[in-house]
Amino acid sequence: MNGRELLIGVTGGIAAYKTAALVSRLVQAGAGVSVVMTASATRLVAPATFRALTGRPVRTGVFDEPGQPYGAHIGLAEEADLLCVAPATANFLAKAAVGIADDLLSTLYLSFPGRILAVPAMNNVMWNKPVVQRNVQQLRADGVHFVGPEEGWLACRAKGMGRMSNPDTIFDAIEQHLEAK
């Protein structure tokens, strides 16, 4: 990971707390990590958490970067080796599958030329909906790589498929994809 530049997108799933552990491990392994959060994600984990873990500003808005004349989505996309969205909510998967770019993360997704990993996390009923599965199939056809989800205890007090993979599993997947690049 030494010297690699990674983008971590954080969406508004309760599993966002696990992403902090992932980011910490990536930084400790020598990666440069930039975090982009959706507005919903900031309601679950404070941007200050990721700012402290990465030593970098956390990006949340399309027009927040005066030092990026072409927009943060362009500058960040040009600098990174890999984009990992964890958690990837049903909302994010739907926007990505049809090309909606209405926030910094979805705009960055469309601007990113490199390898993309999606780490789904959602309620098991949501995960099993035909529309979500169609979106996943479309994203796979578009070249997005998936890590999980797994079966387990969910925040909705149910057990089922939809649990975000643990940070070690995601770390290993990122490492494998960087080696393959």
pLDDT for the residue numbered 158: 85
* Contact call for residues 27 and 48 (beta carbons, < 8 A): no
C-alpha closest to that of 126 among 99, 87, 175? 87
- For the stretch 31-43, pLDDT in tens is 999 999 999 999 9
Q: Which domains does the chain have, with CATH numbers?
A: 5-180 (3.40.50.1950)
Residues with a catalytic annotation lie at 156
Return the structure tokens found at 170: 């995601």
With a pLDDT cut of 90, the percent of the chain lying above it is: 77
pLDDT of 5 > 90? The answer is yes
- For the stretch 62-116, pLDDT in tens is 665 656 555 566 668 778 999 999 999 999 999 999 999 999 999 999 999 999 9
CA–CA dist 117, 80 (Å, integer): 13
Decide the pairing of beta strands 145-146 and 150-153: unpaired
